[in-house]
Amino acid sequence: MYLIAGLGNPGPQYEHTRHNIGLEAVEQWGNSLGVTLGSLHFRSKHALVDYRGNKIVLLCPLTFMNKSGESVGDCIHHYNLEVDRLLVMHDDLDLPLGKIKVVRSGGAGGHKGVSSIIHLLGSSEFSRVKIGIGRPRHGEAVADYVLSCFYDDEKKLAEKVIRMAMKASELFVLEGVQAAMNHINCRRLTI
């Protein structure tokens, strides 16, 4: 069994914001598999799916970004999953929009949601899909930038990026993290 967690903030005011791109990728993957994330166990919306013979929990924490670890930790413990079966999808300011980086483990890189998961699990040995959102163009404060929607000229590219993040998740489940790294990390999407 695998756990694919998409980080973001709950509520309509955060829909389609840069900070929610991981959550959107997980929701869209669920939609493509014919499921809607619903059940509210683990302080999340989630669904248990079968993907090509693999059981997967698709999970979007509803604890707000900075407490993502509470939801992810509850789910990991409930299903008694090993940390190497966890893939976390989240936004990354240090990567440009159009670039995704799959990593096997590592620190939080300043991302509060990832930091919360590391803290609650007591381990950083889980894989991530870091989805580039770039930096502010117009002098916005970083906190405002991540909680705002993509610029108009970025929206089509953001849709492509979500599809590539979904592909990274598929590769992680079917072929492992190394295959996902090999296929995804060398790519750079453009409009």
CB atoms within 10 A of CB 94: 14
Question: Over the chain, what is the mean pLDDT?
Answer: 96
DSSP 39: B
Q: How many independent structural domains does the chain possess? A: 1
**Cα torsion 152, 157, 163, 167: sign:** negative
Query: Is position 110 within any domain?
Result: yes
Residues in the chain: 191
Q: Are 2 and 85 in contact (CB under 8 A)?
A: yes
**Distances, alpha carbon 32 to alpha carbons 79, 107, 154, 175, in Å:** 24, 31, 23, 20
CATH for 120: 3.40.50.1470
Query: For 41-86, what is each residue's pLDDT tens digit?
Result: 899 999 999 999 999 999 999 999 999 999 999 999 999 999 999 9
Residue 177: pLDDT band by 50, 70, 90 thresholds? very high
pTM equals: 0.97
Query: Is position 191 within any domain?
Result: no
Strand partners for 2: 56
Cite the active site residues. Answer: 19
| Residue 191 pLDDT exceeds 90 | no
Query: Is position 39 within any domain?
Result: yes
pLDDT higher at 190 or 3: 3
